[in-house]
Structure 1
Amino acid sequence: MKHLLITGVHSYIGNAVEAYLEQWNKREGQGRYQVDKISLRDGFPKPDGESKWDALLHVAGIAHADISGVSEETKALYYRVNRDLAVETAKWARQAGIPLFIYLSSVIVYGESGKACRNVHITADRKPAPTSFYGDSKYQGELGLQELETEDFHVAILRLPMVYGKGSKGNFPMLVKLAERLPFFPNIENRRSMIYVENLAEFIRLLTESGEGGIFFPQNEEYVSTAELVKEIGTARGKKIRLVRALNPFVRLACVLPGKAGGMAGKAFGSLTIDLGIDQGPEGYRKYSFSESIRKSV
């Protein structure tokens, strides 16, 4: 049996991993995985001899917020949660004898793709260069965690692209709404790395089995344009959406607008890809194709 502790009780990814492992147990007819969840607002459990947990999945964090025009107090909160709390939790996990700490980071540590619809391509030799306090708080969390690694305590850092699935937050539900309402959509040929939440859950399951540490870049097996994504959502909903190049100039104009409008357009139509040649850790985690994942998500 493998015993996983999830720190954070209201996380979309944490809840999805718990549900996925429950379904895995039922499908395989064995109780291979046991999951416990705790809220860090209640403090840390007191270590009691040898740890019963094989891995800790740390999902407590702040993301998917409008980070423009925020106060210094709000910025400080991002660092307290995404950096300080993660490091404190890892110190407790190491003291408690938990051999693997899994930290959910983000490709945001490489900067934003949302400015002027620019293209970001992440290769193995590209260094993190966060351009926002959110990205910097995640990267500072990574650095603090790496300092805690020992031969007996491994840290797995997952630099995630957009995570989507049923009930997800962020850009995906916005695109679902657009697919429901629009008969036409701009045919912008951008490219995005994404990962379906159940593919991510399988990746985490395999990490729990291997106990492997390192920096990982789980993603679906193909890049997808925003136009392809919206069209696939429409197909899953039984609706035909025409992709129209005549709308592309309006998108390019929106991308250079100042403020929130330009940022939203850039996030939707910029390119952000992770090189498919980067070592991505455990193999065989992509259980669902892009089309299958969209059908399950909408």
Structure 2
Amino acid sequence: MKILITGVHGFVGTNLVKALSKEHTIYGLDIISPTKEGVRFTFSWDYLDKENGIPEVDAIIHLAGKAHDTKNQTVSDVYFKVNTGLTQMIYDYFLKSKAKKFIFFSTAKAAADKVEGILTEDVVPSPVGPYGESKIAAEKYIQEHLANDKQVYILRPCMIHGPGNKGNLNLLYGVVKKGIPWPLGAFENRRTFTSIENLCFVINGLLTKDVPTGIYNMGDDEALSTNELIEEICKSLGKNAHIWKLPKGLMTGVAKIGGALHLPLDSERLRKLTENYISSNAKIKKALGVEKMPVDAREGLQRTLESFK
């Protein structure tokens, strides 16, 4: 197949190129255009408007977007300009093109900021903040302009990790590596993660199989608690885990003080670190005809952690 990947030079794009370029011809669309092994050519966004600008492709994978700014320093207009605006632009291009498949990377946060129980695709979306809101606006635009002769997939992955990943997992790894005890052991939460290997497996399935148009959650089969995550990091480092189960009330009070004094641990960060966020991947597995993802959650995590070394 000939495939166009937007945001091809990002973390997910780089891994998709490695996974797909052996069997497919890959073109990129990005704001930067360095040469990359496995990518035939990377076009800039203004090529969408040029006649004979981008070669005809069989599928488009839309990764480009403004990632969630955990420091909340990004103005909301930027999220909508990039996450909604660019999606509308590339999707309109797709509808006019001969391409038959379109894969849009949304986010679990477009469906729900908090999860009670297990998140499924039939939830009524209730995003909180411009990141999730801009993604759900892009989803709605796509769903309002579906074409009968094309297959369109909206993916809602939970936190994606893998070699080359930069984000909260790196920060947590750095804290544990310094030998700093984890003080939130009393909070027994569980979260769904998405290993890049499982993500690439799903993308390949969507490209090569006859999967119905629709919204699909994306995540590993097993959810892990933050305490288990700390233990996996320590295992990777060859250290003993230092998990302190301090009283929840005490840590909640510390977080309130931290917010007033602008310290690293505030109430919002405490919530993010200790909340449950479990997402079901049953729908995508059924659509692909598989009983389980190829990579176990802990196995995928260990591969990511090894890369941090």
Give TM-score scaled by structure 2 length.
0.81
Q: Alignment partner of 1:94: what SS?
A: helix
Cα deviation 1:151-201 (Å, max 9, x = unaligned): 122221001111111221321111111221235323221010111012111
Q: Tell me the distance in 1 between the aligned counterparts of 2:48 and 2:54.
A: 16
- Residues 208-256 of structure 1, C-alpha deviation per residue, up to 9 Å, x if partnerless? 1125321011211111011101110110121221333236444444566
Q: Which residue of 1 aligns with 2:272?
A: 267
Structure 2 unmatched ranges of 5 or more: 31-43
Identify the match of residue 141 of structure 1 among 113, 138, 141.
138
Report what 1:33 is aligned to: 24
Alpha-carbon distance change, 89 to 67 in structure 1, aligned in 2, over 3 angstroms: farther
Change (3 A) 1:199 1:83: same
1:265 is displaced (CA, Å) by 2.0
Larger RCO (CA under 8 A, 6+ residues apart): 1
Q: Is the 8 A contact 2:6 2:62 kept in 1?
A: yes
- What letter matches 2:137 in structure 1? Q
CA contact (8 A) 1:184 1:242 kept: yes
Select between 181-190 and 11-20 the one with higher mean Cα deviation: 181-190
What residue number does 1:100 align with? 101
2:174 counterpart (160, 172, 177): 177
Q: Give unpaired runs (5+ residues) of structure 1.
A: 26-31
How far is the alpha carbon of 1:44 from its aligned partner? 1.3
Distance in 2 between the 1:207 and 1:278 partners?
13
The question of 1:153 aligning with 2:150 is answered yes
Q: Which residue of 1 aligns with 2:198?
A: 199
Verify the 8 A CA contact 1:51 1:97 in the aligned structure 2.
Answer: no
Partner of 1:112: 113
Specify the SS of the correspondent of 2:272: helix
The 8 Å contact of residues 217 and 278 in structure 1, kept in 2 or not, is answered as yes
Q: Which residue of 2 aligns with 1:125?
A: 122
Q: Secondary structure at the match of 1:189?
A: coil
Report the 3-state secondary structure (helix = DSSP H, G, I; strand = E; otherwise coil) of the residue aligned with 2:106: strand
State the secondary structure of the residue aligned to 1:242.
coil
Please name the residue that 1:288 is paired with. 295
Distance 1:69 1:119, change over 3 A: farther
- Indicate yes or no: 2:298 matched with 1:297: no
**Equivalent in the alignment of 1:64:** 68
TM-fit CA distance, 1:274: 1.3
2:47 to 18, 38, 43: 43
Residues 236 and 60 of structure 1: CA distance in aligned 2, closer, same or farther (over 3 Å): same
| CA distance, structure 2, for counterparts of residue 290 and residue 170 of structure 1 | 18
- CA distance in 2: counterparts of 1:202 and 1:57, whole angstroms: 14
Structure 2 residue identity aligned to 1:44:
L
What amino acid does structure 1 have at the position aligned with 2:271? G
Partner of 1:194, secondary structure, is strand
1:255 and 1:159 map into 2 onto residues whose CA distance is: 30
Query: Partners in 1 of 2:133 and 2:76 — Cα distance?
Result: 10
Is the 2:218–2:281 Cα contact (8 Å) retained in structure 1? no
How many residue pairs end up in the alignment?
Answer: 282
1:162 and 2:154 correspond: no
- 1:242 equivalent to 2:248? Answer no
Give the deviation of 1:50 after TM superposition. Answer: 12
> Aligned residues: percent identity?
25
How do 1:11-30 and structure 2 match up within 5 A? 11-22=10-21, 25=22
Tell me what 1:28 maps to. none
Distance, in Å, in 2 between the alignment partners of 1:96 and 1:150 is 12
Please, what is the CA RMSD of the aligned residues?
Answer: 2.7
Q: Distance in 2 between matches of 1:100 and 1:254?
A: 50
1:78-110 CA deviation, whole Å, 9 max, x = no partner? 111111210110111121111111111111123
- Counterpart of 2:84, as a letter, is R
